[in-house]
Structure 1
Amino acid sequence: MKHPHRERDNWTLTTPAARSTRGAVASQHRMAAQAGAAQLDVGGNAVDAIVATAYALNAVEPWMCGLGGAGFMVIWLAKEQRAVALDFQGVLAGDTRLEDYPVDPALPATPMGFPGVVDNANIEGYRSITVPGAVAGLEHALARFGSKPRAEVMAPAIQLAERGLHVDWFTSLQIGVCARTLARDPVSRSIYLPGGHPATPESRLRIPQLADTLREIAESGADTFYRGALAEKIVGDLQAGGSRISREDLAAYEVFEYEPMAAAHRGYTLYTPGEVSGGLRQREMLAYALEAMPTPPETPTPETWLAYAEALEHCWKRHKIRNGVLSPTDGGFGGIDIENGACTSSMSSVDAEGNMVALTYTLLNRFGSGVTLPSTGMLMNDSVSYFDPRPGYPTTMEGGKRINSSNMCPTVAVKGGEARFSVGASGGNLIMPAVTQVAALMMDFDMSLEDAVHHPRLDASYRGSIRVDPRFDPETLAKLGERFELEIAQQLVFPKLYACVSAVSRASENGECIGINDPTQPIGGGAAPAPFQIEPLDDEPVVRP
């Protein structure tokens, strides 16, 4: 039994939930959730709310997601009684060449378990960037299923970008963790490392061009981003930095809309983006747990958590074999552990009509490639690291290839023809285990969303041991220890060892909606419908690059 974090923080983490019968939004940043909830306040629907939230995160949580990222969305359309999935994942440049990414055996594997390459070219800098799908995905969702004009939905994001990024201790932490990567890019260095050091709390950072870029998208939509004046700026910056992404690559980008994967569990139907997301692992985990526990006890028992842990190990082993990270005949464990819940932003929304959305999108690693494009203020992804630099594998790099294996797992759960909850998370390999445990607790034990999010979790991904929150009772720890090598590790603000969950729920009996973010996220939260208001920060020093 390992105790990697024996010196425990001296506090108990809890977080309040937002409640309203008019809907709710949950996000990894409270201001972004409030931007989304403001759309509900003026009659918008859950899709309007999620798009407003996603755009606002560019200005308040730029290190996790943004215009330069990609992801998935699952939407429940209450009147139509159907679910829709959107895939707006990144795509490799058409001229991608394996010789640009020679394997360096001296470097550690990437977060996806693939070999490191010379100069970290697949995870840092311009060569690590894929064609971003975020703007296309948000535009598609709003045009197809939203109800408000783009300019109105994006107005809070523009306001926040014009005000600048408020630096608190948590922001300083994010910058400090990635200071080495940020220092490689002159624009990122000038923004986030003023004077050569991470920006200090109680200051305000201006991200040059970001407000103008958001304003241009609000006026002209995805067309300018992929085929117009903004595309010209983006490609000019990318190619000047050494990227092989072309105007043709941007113009060819498309969003996939399709029927999501469904998984049945105790009267619920869970919708996820399917095999290219964490959805298949979720379905396999739940099926395994259901077989091990056909009739759940009244409350979770040690045997419950053993069943969940074994189910997670089972689905992760299958996943690693499918991806070529692990041989079917190999007795060892594939891939690596992610120690800090490094990446991504997840958000959920629900409106009074019962429409519900789960959205997860990402720059992949924290601050992505570390590159900020000088003409647009966009932080760019490092999603080339989703691909294997070795030939002959299912995920091998290939020109024009779309990301086809992700941990993201936005989930909407429906029962009796009504969306009951949606849940997603950030945290790389930690995402699917956390999302599925929260969902399982609600479905297996009729636990409230608030209780499920606050409940201790474990993390297992077929890596040779499982991580367990010490808040579990001694009997559960003993039962798990009979079967697994345990890492006893407290739930922390950093590193986030059990992912960062965002979720909403809606009660069938009275329509009460709840929004809540993970208790480990000090800047996260839920929001109920209200006008969007930001306080001026005139008393803070403004750091201008």
Structure 2
Amino acid sequence: MTRSHHDIDNWTLTTPAARSQNGVVASQHRVAAQAGAAQLDAGGNAIDAIVATAYALNAVEPWMSGLGGSGFMVIWLAKEQHAVALDFQGTLAGDTRLEDYPVDPNLPATPMGFPGVVDNANIEGYRSITVPGAVAGLDHALSRFGSRSRNDVMTPAIQLAERGLQVDWFTSLQIGVCARTLARDPMSASIYLPGGHPATPESRLRIPNLAGTLREIAAGGAETFYRGALAERIVSDLQAGGSRISREDFAACEVFEYAPMVAEHRGYTLYTPGEVSGGLRQREMLAHTFEAIPTPPESPTPATWVAYAEALEACWRQHKIRTGVLPPRAGPVDGENGACTSSMSSVDAEGNMVALTYTLLNRFGSGVTLPSTGMLMNDSVSYFDPRPGYPTTMAGGKRVNSSNMCPTVAVRDGEARFSVGASGGNLIMPAVTQGAALMMDFGMNLEEAVHHPRLDASYRGSVRVDPRFEPATLKRLGERFELEIAQQLVFPKLYACVSAVSRDPETGECLGLNDPTQTICGGAAPARFDLDPLG
């Protein structure tokens, strides 16, 4: 059976790549990418660039990630010929109680596939918030592997926060989609819903206290955020709103630095954060693909896409069994459309390369903006199962141990060739892995791989395909799967939002670009960060 939804919009989608021999940055917001690329221009490295980009997103794309979020980073250190993974995922309050999250069978499952709970307490409001790891992770990366000062790296983010969020139609769309959740929180409503309605294009939103919070972090780093004066204000706001998070929970936040998970494919070594990320599914998908296609043809064929879809279905089924979403012999369960997270990549002239993905989980996270800091907070409690007895069951102090995020760095012959990541919940790993596979299996360059049609499969009962595929491919897939033919759109995001960079070690040319459906995305080459032309 085939369901067709491809007659909605009429678009021809392309996106330009940033090019430079001195490095590039790719981000879901081009201004944030420019903030990162300015670090390269000032003599910094790829780690400086990625941290600057991540902080800048607080001011230009606050609905996807930020100080109140958590995530993963993979770093390739060119001189040391060594890869490092950072896990700065969130943790539940030490006093977390299952009775705070009674299952409501009338509500849909969370984005992770777990049951909904009464009053959406695991996805909206103060009880949905975990201790955020973002500041710990970014500060750790910068102090361990960066070359510039925290103040230098964070200056563009502070400038952007002082300027305020310039609203365009895309911003209005993001706010409108989440208006009901934002309306629940007085602070968020006052910022994003002026007069009770989503902010309109050509207006400017001020996020109270955000610039000051960024300045405090620039001065005191993770220490003040988790154990100092800033931590005291954050926890005070959280507890006033009904969260069980304590000062002790904040003080206990830590970053895990470790050797990444490795996957070998067609002469490449791929590094990901491992089993708690989408990395294990990526490795399983590539292993299935290699078995099905030991020697790839010159270009993808219908059989290629059947093999990719079958591999994705198999690895997703195993993942759902491991996390308790499925019993071992159960059939598919419905999935969701992509809606969350921010991914970015950077590379410098020396060949250092970084892939970073971090998130508030859902768009606008919990919908809560903390009054004293301007921080929009995550809803990462929904990473956990409210039912007892599962691997991901809620428990006091438990760390997020199952994520879709899949930042990937690919190395060949001792040189980092590309890094790729994506946003979009369950859609992340299929998008990242297909892009990587197209480059490794068929020798596509980054532009070709990012612009190529993709499919999405996550063992949910159907396979979604882009109508730009050749008719023979659609026919072959339709003989094997129930198809949902759906074009790539700005909204809803049906195939994830990919961000990636590449570097040719022979010429030194670096490329950076993003998913063509996201109008605010962009790559940036090294240049001075000048706020004036931005308004």
Unaligned runs of 5+ in 1: 539-545
Distance 1:203 1:238 in 2: 30
Aligned-pair CA distance for 1:509: 1.1
Residues 132, 381 of structure 1: 8 Å contact kept: yes
Q: Which residue of 1 aligns with 2:440?
A: 443
Question: Is 1:333 paired with 2:332?
Answer: yes
Aligned-pair CA distance for 1:443: 0.2
1:400-448 Cα shifts (integer Å, max 9, x gaps): 0000000000000000000000000000000000000000000000000
Q: Which residue of 1 aligns with 2:318?
A: 318
- Map 1:379-394; keep pairs closer than 5 Å: 379-394=376-391
Aligned residue for 1:438, secondary structure, equals helix
Q: Which moved more, 1:528-537 or 1:388-397?
A: 528-537
Q: Which residue of 2 aligns with 1:52?
A: 52
Aligned residue for 2:242, secondary structure, equals coil
Question: Is 1:476 paired with 2:473?
Answer: yes
Matched letter for residue 107 of structure 1: L
Question: Is 1:78 paired with 2:78?
Answer: yes
Matched letter for residue 113 of structure 1: G
Residues 406, 432 of structure 2: 8 Å contact kept: yes
- Map 1:418-457; keep pairs closer than 5 Å: 418-457=415-454
1:183-240 Cα shifts (integer Å, max 9, x gaps): 0000000000000000000000000000000000001111110000000000000000
Residues 91, 398 of structure 2: 8 Å contact kept: yes
Q: Which residue of 2 aligns with 1:362?
A: 359
Call closer, same or farther: CA 1:303–1:536 in 2, change over 3 Å. Answer: closer
Matched letter for residue 418 of structure 1: E
Distance 2:45 2:385 in 1: 40
Residues 130, 379 of structure 2: 8 Å contact kept: yes
1:40-65 Cα shifts (integer Å, max 9, x gaps): 00110000000000000000000000
Distance 1:28 1:325 in 2: 30
Matched letter for residue 393 of structure 2: T
Call closer, same or farther: CA 1:503–1:6 in 2, change over 3 Å. Answer: closer
Q: Which residue of 1 aligns with 2:392?
A: 395
Aligned residue for 2:38, secondary structure, equals helix
Aligned residue for 2:397, secondary structure, equals coil
Distance 1:407 1:186 in 2: 31
Q: Which residue of 2 aligns with 1:522?
A: 519
Matched letter for residue 335 of structure 2: D
Distance 2:417 2:7 in 1: 39
Q: Which residue of 2 aligns with 1:506?
A: 503
Number of corresponding residues? 535
Distance 1:114 1:508 in 2: 44
Distance 2:159 2:204 in 1: 14
Matched letter for residue 472 of structure 1: F
- Map 1:284-295; keep pairs closer than 5 Å: 284-295=284-295
Aligned-pair CA distance for 1:508: 1.6
Q: Which residue of 2 aligns with 1:234?
A: 234
Distance 1:44 1:271 in 2: 23
Question: Is 1:160 paired with 2:160?
Answer: yes
Q: Which residue of 2 aligns with 1:309?
A: 309
Unaligned runs of 5+ in 2: none
Residues 2, 478 of structure 2: 8 Å contact kept: no
Q: Which residue of 1 aligns with 2:151?
A: 151
Residues 360, 424 of structure 1: 8 Å contact kept: yes
Residues 73, 354 of structure 2: 8 Å contact kept: yes
Aligned-pair CA distance for 1:535: 2.7
Aligned-pair CA distance for 1:534: 1.6
Aligned-pair CA distance for 1:536: 6.2
Aligned-pair CA distance for 1:4: 5.2
Question: Is 1:138 paired with 2:138?
Answer: yes
1:125-173 Cα shifts (integer Å, max 9, x gaps): 0000000000000000000000000000000000000000000000000
Q: Which residue of 1 aligns with 2:282?
A: 282
1:233-265 Cα shifts (integer Å, max 9, x gaps): 000000000000000000011000000000000
Distance 1:439 1:22 in 2: 23
- Map 1:105-120; keep pairs closer than 5 Å: 105-120=105-120
Call closer, same or farther: CA 1:443–1:98 in 2, change over 3 Å. Answer: same
Call closer, same or farther: CA 1:537–1:273 in 2, change over 3 Å. Answer: closer
Distance 2:97 2:294 in 1: 50
Call closer, same or farther: CA 1:537–1:442 in 2, change over 3 Å. Answer: closer
Aligned-pair CA distance for 1:537: 6.8
Matched letter for residue 332 of structure 2: F
Matched letter for residue 85 of structure 2: A
Distance 1:351 1:44 in 2: 8
1:348-372 Cα shifts (integer Å, max 9, x gaps): 0000000000000000000000000
1:495-528 Cα shifts (integer Å, max 9, x gaps): 1100000000000210100000110110000000
Aligned-pair CA distance for 1:533: 1.0
Q: Which residue of 2 aligns with 1:543?
A: none
Q: Which residue of 2 aligns with 1:215?
A: 215
Identity %: 84
Q: Which residue of 1 aligns with 2:180?
A: 180
Residues 278, 429 of structure 2: 8 Å contact kept: yes
Q: Which residue of 2 aligns with 1:124?
A: 124
Distance 1:49 1:419 in 2: 17
Residues 73, 273 of structure 1: 8 Å contact kept: yes
Q: Which residue of 1 aligns with 2:349?
A: 352
Distance 2:47 2:378 in 1: 24
Matched letter for residue 50 of structure 1: I
Residues 427, 499 of structure 1: 8 Å contact kept: yes
Aligned residue for 1:308, secondary structure, equals helix
- What do you get for the CA RMSD once the two structures are aligned? 0.8
Q: Which residue of 1 aligns with 2:485?
A: 488
1:345-400 Cα shifts (integer Å, max 9, x gaps): 00000000000000000000000000000000000000000000000000000000
Aligned-pair CA distance for 1:338: 1.3
Q: Which residue of 2 aligns with 1:87?
A: 87
Runs of 4+ residues over 4 Å off in structure 1: none
Matched letter for residue 190 of structure 1: S
Residues 163, 536 of structure 1: 8 Å contact kept: no
